[in-house]
């Protein structure tokens, strides 16, 4: 079942990744799944939401900037990011943001 | 042409809206377009990125918390939010976050 990410009380961090893809596939979907799985095992990982039409948006949630930095230094993730720049993305933006407040609605 | 939102140098704010839809349509797409158009005319609005598969993610960017608050108080937006709760969304989360750093990649 599709679910929205659940996160603890703020403050925590969000990494907002927005992108446009190239037409190249070359293992993109497989790598996406591997990266999601690997990210979810990192210390400080809290959750992730992801959607793509033409624009892709992935927002991952983290305990603090230290856990974001450690994930950035992960060697598999570094390889994936290099492939992202060379093959999969024509453009992307990364925004590191501190979540100050949140609220939710459920029926 | 599809574009990613362009934003000024941080700090600025992001409102991360994640949602799951009901099956009800009842003017959802029309209202989405009206709200995007109206939001883009508000003081302090910087840009927006949006995508939906099963999960929908809309990230809007704002100059400060004051401009976010003013948009929340907008009467048309208030009506749309009420319809969102009563008809269009089965779940949503809203996260208000201060963007501290960002970087971009373009081919």
Contact partners, residue B58, CB within 8 Å, separation at least 6: B17, B19, B48, B49, B50
Q: Is the ipTM above a cut-off of 0.90?
A: yes
- What pLDDT is stored for residue A24 in this prediction? 87
**DSSP three-state, residue A85:** helix
CB contact under 8 A, B14 and A19: no
How large is the C-alpha radius of gyration of chain B? 14
Q: Check if A92 contacts B (Cβ < 8 Å).
A: yes
**Residues of chain A below pLDDT 50:** none
Entry pTM: 0.96
- How many interface pairs between A and B have CB atoms less than 8 angstroms apart? 132
Residue B86 to chain A, least CA–CA distance (Å): 9
Question: Which among B19, B51, B103 has the least Cβ separation from residue A57?
Answer: B51
CB contact under 8 A, A98 and B97: yes
- What pLDDT is stored for residue B2 in this prediction? 84
């Amino acid at each position: 079942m599709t679910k929205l990410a659940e996160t603890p009380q703020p403050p925590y961090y969000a990494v907002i990744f927005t992108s446009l893809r190239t037409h190249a596939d070359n293992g993109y979907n497989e790598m996406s799944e591997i990266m999601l799985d690997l990210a979810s095992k990192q210390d400080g990982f809290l959750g992730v939401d992801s959607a793509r039409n033409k624009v892709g948006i992935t927002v991952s949630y983290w305990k603090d900037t230290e856990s974001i930095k450690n994930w950035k230094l992960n060697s598999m993730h570094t390889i994936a990011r290099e492939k992202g720049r060379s093959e999969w993305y024509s453009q992307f933006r990364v925004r590191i943001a501190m979540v100050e407040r949140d609220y939710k609605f459920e029926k």
